[in-house]
């Protein structure tokens, strides 16, 4: 039984939630998000500033959707009211990054610069060796961070590459000299 699903979702001031058919629309100061909801297995009640989710039946599928749906909706509310943020750090000689509008240009030691077009709803900023990704959709922010990191993953010998700000790279000892 999901303990997460039982928790009510509090809607902060300046944020609104509306059920339109089989979608839940949440609007806040950071943007607007929509989520498809399963009304055949779950009940949704919006009372003043609280969303409550209950199961219609006690079968396995509704139990699995119960906590997941509650978490997705809670993340949407946090996203449109506060937003989500991921930070990446890049290390390496000659590694550079710059932003022009929605376009991130990376020089990561390849023969060509990598140009990454940020999706709609995502802001990217660069300061020294840090890339900051901001947005209302938690999944989209994480996906963009993972795609940027995949251009040059950190290597364990010198630590060169792009890593998450809170990621710890286990370093390996290099080859020893000839005897």
Shared-domain flag, residues 49 and 118:
no
Shared-domain flag, residues 94 and 141:
yes
| Domain of residue 30, residue span | 9-81
Shared-domain flag, residues 51 and 108:
no
Q: What is the pLDDT of residue 2?
A: 58
Shared-domain flag, residues 72 and 92:
no
The closest of 152, 165, 65, 162 to 112, measured between CA atoms, is: 152
Is the residue at 43 inside a domain? yes
Please measure the distance between the N-terminal and C-terminal CA atoms of the chain and give it in whole angstroms.
63
Helices (H), 58-162: 60-81, 138-150
Q: Tokens for 108? A: 């990561």
d(CA 65, CA 124): 33
The closest of 15, 163, 32 to 92, measured between CA atoms, is: 163
Q: What is the pLDDT of residue 152?
A: 96
- 177 pLDDT more than 90: no
User: Which residues pair with residue 110 across a beta bridge?
Assistant: none
d(CA 140, CA 120): 10
Residue 145's pLDDT band, with cuts at 50, 70 and 90, is very high
- 179 pLDDT more than 60: no
Q: 100-105 — which CB contacts under 8 Å span 24+ positions?
A: 104/131, 104/148
Q: What is the CATH number of the domain that holds 127?
A: 3.90.930.12
What is the per-residue pLDDT across 97-138, written as a single tens digit (0 to 9) for each? 999 999 999 999 999 999 999 999 999 999 999 999 999 999
d(CA 140, CA 162): 18
Shared-domain flag, residues 156 and 142:
yes
Residue with the bigger pLDDT between 3 and 87: it is 87
Q: What is the pLDDT of residue 3?
A: 82
Q: What is the pLDDT of residue 178?
A: 58
Domain count, the chain: 2
Q: What is the pLDDT of residue 140?
A: 97
- pTM (two decimals): 0.89
Shared-domain flag, residues 69 and 121:
no
Q: What is the pLDDT of residue 90?
A: 95
Is the residue at 37 inside a domain? yes
Q: Tokens for 140? A: 């989209």
Is the residue at 171 inside a domain? no
What is the per-residue pLDDT across 16-74, written as a single tens digit (0 to 9) for each? 999 998 999 999 999 999 999 988 999 999 998 999 999 998 888 888 898 899 999 99
- 1 pLDDT more than 80: no
Q: What is the pLDDT of residue 174?
A: 83
């Amino acid at each position: 039984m999901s303990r997460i699903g039982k928790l009510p979702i509090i809607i902060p001031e300046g944020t609104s939630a509306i059920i339109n058919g089989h979608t839940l629309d949440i609007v806040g100061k950071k943007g607007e998000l929509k989520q498809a909801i399963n009304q055949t297995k779950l009940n949704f009640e919006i009372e003043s500033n609280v969303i409550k989710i209950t199961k219609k039946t006690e079968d396995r599928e509704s139990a699995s959707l119960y906590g997941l749906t509650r978490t997705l909706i809670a993340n949407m509310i946090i996203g449109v009211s506060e937003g989500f943020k991921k930070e990446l750090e890049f290390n390496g000689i000659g590694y550079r990054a710059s932003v022009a509008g929605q376009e991130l240009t990376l020089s990561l030691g390849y023969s060509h610069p990598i140009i990454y077009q940020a999706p709609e709803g995502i802001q990217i900023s660069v300061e020294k060796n840090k890339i900051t990704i901001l947005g209302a959709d938690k999944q989209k922010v994480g996906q963009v961070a993972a795609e940027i990191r995949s251009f040059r993953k950190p290597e364990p010998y010198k630590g060169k590459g792009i890593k998450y700000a809170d990621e710890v790279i286990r370093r390996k000892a290099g080859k020893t000299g000839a005897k």
